[in-house]
Structures are given as structure tokens and as C-alpha cells.
């Protein structure tokens, strides 16, 4: 493998390889993943402290796998509880649909986890700094200028810096996205909801052990268990509601009363949010890229908002590292939106569809909905496992039949990802396949090569995709599957090696 020097490195010497704007969970994850790969990372945030109240409340096994890569999976444990599942119920409590999270997934981690966001952010920020990221807090970005071979970042305090690339993880109201005039595509969903976060008294019973979606046309409601002593209620606003008055202690107590004694809890936060389904039209413009809520926003009915942002970071990190280390061409970054947008769009569309089911306020339409779902349940349906995330679409880095996340077995007491690190992984059915010409290419990419003759545990990885040979990318997605590992096509060679 012969590294080439990108022209931008020859022309200027930027202060940083990457500037990450926004030090929330997505920005801190991205900064840590990049710094782990030896890049010079600056993270900036306009705030000086972590937002002290919970916002996101759920993440899945794929996010836990990213935390494993960062070495903090065990560290976040005290801030989490397992989510046994979710139930959609009628106003009278009849179960319309049950979603069971089950036990460990093929990734080796639980399918669904509930957490306290401030605690998670503390861990992620610490990991980002321990990994070598430089952090500046209380600094707002005032201007971003792409000079073609580097990015100039100006701050409100009059200072400035330069970087080879910038990634905006600055949230739904992204100042960087607005400055560049990038529009958002609206998937046609916007509903205001009251979010009430509670701290339960020591003697109080939890209103539910499951996440509940209460499909009540009089007031659609969501109940979310969180790590004790917290619990969350979400109430859809009706046309007659006063968005300001409904956050008062009296109004919140009235809404809680059918579910619990309001005196059994302290309201930590009561705020009205509009739930959106939005996707940015551009996730990359030159040397500026977008991740998390700056690139897409989803209604919360699947709990995939933060998860989607962390998947962005996972997808970007290994690609940026290859480009900045001079291994791959800048064009590799064009695969970011090509891969992530279809996956995100599918997730948002499913959340929007569920939202439309839950947010039905017409009594006749709700009655028809309930009758249909109850009939399906009586016929033996109405129960499902945790929904798997859509695969990445076929493209330059995803061959036909690939694109899902690879299984993660334990080998001699160690998880496969911990053995692989940030390398590609080649998995073969037999040791004899190591002489295959395709293996030589991936060995030159410093891939970890394993075969089921020598390491029997990896047979399950192949069995899951019905193949005898496969390549797994550094972000744990399957690049190629087949009966034999053939030499990569010219397009893939060009994408990885220029």
C-alpha cells in the first residue's frame, strides 16, 4: 500500500486535522474516534457546561458497540438500565402491539438500553480528552470559510483557527448549516409534545417497567422508564392547549394524575418540543460535513435520534482517518451521505409512520385503528422483536448482499472488535482460502485475517450471512460476502487507495 499525499497537505499546514463543532454526544463520540486514530482534533462548543437535564433517553446495541470501541462500555453501565421492550396500548389499556427487546444481540450487547444523558456525556467528553482531543468551551463559531485546501474557522471572541476538515455536530439549529444556506427536506411530520422529566420519590412505584405508547385519541401519551430515580412522560399537545401554560406545575400535575400521584415525584423539567422528521439536502459541502441533528432530525418514537448521530460519527471516523493519513482520496468522503442518508431516511420514515399511528386524535379513526390491530393480535400477530436497523445501500464500499452489521463473537475471552481495533477484518471458512488473491489485497490494507479452521468462533460470523468469505469494515458493517474472496473491483480499489 503506497500512501499518497493529498494536495491540501502540500499547500498549507492547518492548525488541526479536524475541527468538530459541538461537544454533545455525537461531537464527543466523533472527536474520540478521530483522536483514537491519531488525528489532531479540536472540539469547540458555545456552552461551558453539559446540559444538566436528560434529552435523549435510549440507545441500542450498535451504539454500545461504538462505546466498546472507545473503551468506555463498562464505564457507562451505572447510567443505564435494560429496556425490556415497548407496548402500544389503547386508552383502556388493551395491548395493540408488543415489541420485545430480548436478550443479547449478535453484536454481543443488549438490543435496547435506557440511559441518563448527562452521565453519558460526562464519560464521552472524558474519553475524547483522554484520547488527545483539544477542547475549547464557551466559544461560539461566527464564520466558516472553505478555502479549497483548508477551512478557516472564526469565533465570536475574535480568535480563529484553521483545519483540513470541519464537522458540524451543532444540533438541530446548526449555525454552520444555516450559514452555508443548506436546506432541510421535510418528511411531513411536525407535532408539539410536552416532555415532563420526573425524579421519583424513594417510596414511589415506577408507573411502568416498559416503554408505553398510549394511543389515546383524547391525549396521546408516552411513558419512558429511565435509570432510577427518573421517569419520563410525554404528552401530545392538542389544539386547545396553551403551549406556555401547559408547562406549569398545575397543568403537569393534572396530566400525571391518571398515571400516578403527582406528589410522588419532583418535576425536573417540563418543556414543549416539536417533533420533526427532517433531513439536510447536503451532508457535505467541500471540506465541511454535518452529523447528528445538524444533518437529520427524527421523531422520538423509535428512540433513534442520538443513535443515528453516533452512527454518523462511526461512518465518518474511519473515512476521515484514511483521507487525512494519506491512504485514501478525498472522494472517499463522498460515500458518507450516499450510505447514511438512505439508512437514516428509512429510520425516520418508520418513526414518522409510528408517530402517525400514535398521534391519531380522531375518535373514529382511532377506533378503526384499534379494531384492526386487536384483530391482528387475536389472530396471532401483534408481537415483534426489536427492529433491526436497515442495511447500508449497495455502493462503492458495500457489495450486493452486504451492508449489515457483522456479528461479534468472543474469541478466547476477547470480543472480536477488541482484537480488530480500527482495521478491516477478513473472515474465511478455511485456512486454505488464505492463498486467495483477494486476501492479498486486504492484507496490504493491514486487515486482520481470520479463518474458521484456526479460529472456530468466527464460523458464526459467516453463517449469519450465508457465506464462506467476507470483509468487515472498520465501522463493523459488512463490505463484501461470497463463496470466495475475489480481488476488489477497480472502483473499490480507487476509493480505498486512490
Distance CA 251, CA 240 (A): 13
- Dihedral (Cα; 395, 400, 401, 403), 10-degree rounding: -10
Do β-strands 221-225 and 288-290 pair in parallel, antiparallel, or remain unpaired? Answer: unpaired
Distance CA 351, CA 278 (A): 12
Quick check: 1 and 326 in contact, CB under 8 A?
no
Cβ atoms < 10 Å from Cβ of 489: 12
Cell numbers linked to 41 = 482534533
Provide the pLDDT for residue 128. 98
Cβ atoms < 10 Å from Cβ of 263: 10
The beta strands (E) that lie in 281-335 are given as 284-285, 288-290, 296-297
The domains of the chain, with CATH numbers, are 7-78+114-184+279-352 (3.50.50.60), 410-497 (3.40.30.120)
**How many secondary structure helices (H) and strands (E) does the chain include?**
13, 26
Distance CA 428, CA 451 (A): 4
Cβ atoms < 10 Å from Cβ of 132: 15
Distance CA 27, CA 315 (A): 13
Exposed e or buried b per residue across 141-162, where buried means at least 16 C-beta atoms within 10 angstroms of its C-beta: beebeeeebbbebebeeeeebb
Quick check: 424 and 445 in contact, CB under 8 A?
yes
Do β-strands 265-280 and 184-200 pair in parallel, antiparallel, or remain unpaired? Answer: antiparallel
Distance CA 87, CA 98 (A): 5
The beta strands (E) that lie in 409-463 are given as 410-411, 414-415, 425-428, 448-451
pLDDT in tens, 251-264: 999 999 999 999 99
Instruction: List the chain residues with pLDDT less than 70.
Output: 1-12, 386-388
pLDDT in tens, 449-467: 999 999 999 999 999 999 9
Give the total residue count for the chain: 498
CA proximity to 230, closest of 49, 25, 54: 54
CA angle 282, 287, 293 (to 5 degrees): 45
The reply to whether omega before 229 is within 30° of 0 (cis) is yes
Amino acid at each position: 500500500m503506497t500512501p499518497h499525499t493529498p494536495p491540501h497537505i502540500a499547500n498549507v499546514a492547518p492548525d488541526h486535522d479536524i475541527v468538530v463543532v459541538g461537544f454533545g454526544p455525537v461531537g464527543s463520540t466523533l472527536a474520540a474516534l478521530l483522536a483514537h486514530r491519531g488525528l489532531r482534533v479540536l472540539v469547540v462548543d458555545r456552552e461551558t457546561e453539559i446540559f444538566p437535564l436528560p434529552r435523549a433517553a435510549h440507545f441500542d446495541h450498535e451504539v454500545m458497540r461504538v462505546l466498546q470501541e472507545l473503551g468506555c462500555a463498562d464505564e457507562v453501565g451505572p447510567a443505564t438500565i435494560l429496556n425490556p421492550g415497548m407496548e402500544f396500548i389503547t386508552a383502556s389499556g388493551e395491548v395493540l402491539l408488543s415489541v420485545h427487546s430480548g436478550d443479547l444481540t449478535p453484536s454481543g450487547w443488549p438490543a435496547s438500553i435506557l440511559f441518563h444523558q448527562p452521565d453519558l456525556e460526562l464519560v464521552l467528553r472524558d474519553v475524547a480528552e483522554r484520547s488527545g482531543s483539544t477542547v475549547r468551551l464557551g466559544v461560539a463559531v461566527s464564520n466558516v470559510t472553505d478555502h479549497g485546501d483548508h477551512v478557516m474557522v472564526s469565533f465570536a471572541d475574535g480568535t480563529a483557527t484553521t483545519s483540513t476538515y470541519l464537522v458540524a455536530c451543532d444540533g438541530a439549529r446548526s449555525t454552520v448549516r444555516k450559514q452555508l444556506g443548506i436546506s432541510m427536506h421535510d418528511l411531513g411530520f411536525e407535532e408539539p409534545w410536552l416532555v415532563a422529566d420526573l425524579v421519583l420519590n424513594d417510596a414511589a412505584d415506577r408507573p411502568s417497567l416498559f416503554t408505553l405508547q398510549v394511543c389515546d385519541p383524547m391525549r396521546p401519551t408516552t411513558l419512558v422508564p429511565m435509570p432510577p430515580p427518573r421517569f419520563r412522560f410525554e404528552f401530545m399537545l392538542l389544539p386547545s392547549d396553551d403551549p406556555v401554560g401547559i408547562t406549569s406545575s398545575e397543568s403537569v400535575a393534572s396530566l400525571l394524575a391518571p398515571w400516578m400521584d403527582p406528589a410522588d415525584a419532583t418535576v425536573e423539567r417540563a418543556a414543549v418540543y416539536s417533533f420533526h422528521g427532517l433531513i439536510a439536502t447536503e451532508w457535505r459541502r467541500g471540506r465541511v460535513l454535518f452529523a447528528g441533528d445538524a444533518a437529520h432530525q427524527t421523531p422520538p418514537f423509535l428512540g433513534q435520534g442520538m443513535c443515528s448521530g453516533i452512527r454518523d460519527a462511526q461512518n465518518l471516523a474511519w473515512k476521515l482517518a484514511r483521507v487525512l493519513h494519506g491512504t485514501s482520496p478525498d472522494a472517499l468522503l463522498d460515500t458518507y451521505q450516499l450510505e447514511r442518508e438512505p439508512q437514516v431516511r428509512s429510520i425516520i420514515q418508520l418513526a414518522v409512520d409510528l408517530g402517525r399511528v400514535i398521534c391519531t386524535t380522531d375518535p373514529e379513526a382511532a377506533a378503526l385503528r384499534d379494531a384492526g390491530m386487536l384483530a391482528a393480535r387475536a389472530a396471532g400477530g401483534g408481537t415483534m422483536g426489536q427492529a433491526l436497523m436497515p442495511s447500508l445501500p449497495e455502493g462503492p464500499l458495500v457489495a450486493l448482499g452486504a451492508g449489515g452489521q457483522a456479528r461479534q463473537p468472543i474469541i478466547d475471552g476477547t470480543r472480536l472488535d477488541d482484537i480488530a481495533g480500527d482495521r478491516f477484518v477478513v473472515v474465511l471458512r478455511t485456512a486454505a482460502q488464505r492463498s486467495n488473491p483477494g486476501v492479498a489485497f486486504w492484507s496490504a490494507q493491514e486487515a486482520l485475517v481470520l479463518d474458521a479452521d484456526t479460529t472456530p468462533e468466527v464460523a458464526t460470523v459467516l453463517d449469519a450471512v450465508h457465506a464462506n468469505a467476507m470483509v468487515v469494515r472498520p465501522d463493523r458493517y459488512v463490505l463484501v460476502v461470497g463463496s470466495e474472496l475475489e480481488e476488489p473491483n477497480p472502483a473499490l480499489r480507487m476509493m480505498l487507495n486512490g
